[in-house]
Amino acid sequence: MIRPVTEQEQNEQRKNALRAALAASPVPVPDDLLNAVAGLFVTDTLDVLRAHPGFDLEDKLRSIRTTLQLFDQAFADLQDALAAFDAFSRQPEFHYRSHRAQHDIIERSIRKEIFTFSELAHSLQDHCRRVNSRWKSSLITPRIPTCFGDDGLHDFVCGLRTALHHLLMLDANWAIRGSGAAATSHYLFDLRELQDANPSWNERARRFLAAQTENIDIGTLTPVYHQRVHEFYDAILDEADANPPAEVADYRRCWNAHQRRSARMAWNFMLTQYQNHGIDPYLYLDRYLLPAELETVRRLPDRSRTQVDFIIRALDELSACDNALRLKIYRLFGVPEEAASRDPTEAVDL
């Protein structure tokens, strides 16, 4: 007796067929294939789109974006920790034995963020190499010396990661310079300890260390390196957005089609709930609009097409609102029939 195919098995067969079709398809993929993929549940769409020719490179670009955001957060947290110590160093209790625990907490935070900062700098480099293996951007190779220079700072930061991660967790020294309101605190790595901590510093990093005095000031070094990183990666990511490889552009087209479809379904569901329960949408605008957007809405005539068009533009980040959906929104907000019945594509700009 033949066992009937379960719904789960049918779904997996359908997904396998779509995966095979995507893998074999030229780009852009045909509209019927795009619509079939876009119509899946979100997790199934993500799963199937892994077979798209543009997935691998898009995933590598996404990794750079995500790591760059984490790098920014590590930099901000490090600056906050350094500022916290600087503020603490100005207080009379800074030298009290009873406040030594507070000193230690701040210093541990700084050490953690230096570790994270250097680790993420190294990760960005690795992610960039993986992107470069798939996409020969015209900006990557020529911008390395332009953005990072040849002073060895980049090699030092990545080498510091190796030292901290694999070899030795270095201690640092504090220096309080000046007095009174003009006093400043400095978190310093000893140059000789740095040189001894990593026998494998490359030539550029050694050149950087040789050019330093007896200490390296983390508070001075990290902002310079952070700016260089953004000069490099912002240009590459901007190019990937403005002029992506054909397979990446098509991957994004497929994923955006799914997102628009999902957003349209969510909007229709919400509109139905509001209408069925007689809910006034104006009572809930503060849940969806930013304060500046809400202020603009309040300046426009209530239940006017101009006002509702503005609300749609603010919320429709995926351009999911089609003509039928726009008419439903007009009815929900009570836009007069005469105004609502005009061509819905003639949205009024402010």
pLDDT digits (tens, 9 = 90+) for 284-307: 999 999 999 999 999 999 999 999
pLDDT digits (tens, 9 = 90+) for 216-255: 888 889 999 999 999 999 999 999 999 999 999 999 999 9
Residue 185 parent element (H or E): strand 184-190
Quote the pTM value. 0.83
Q: What is the mean pLDDT of the chain?
A: 87
Q: How far separated are the first and last CA of the chain, in Å rounded?
A: 68
How far, in Å, CA of 32 to CA of 29, rounded?
8
Are 116 and 218 contacting, i.e. CB atoms less than 8 angstroms apart? Answer: no
Nearest C-alpha neighbor of 330 from the set 348, 350, 299, 286: 348
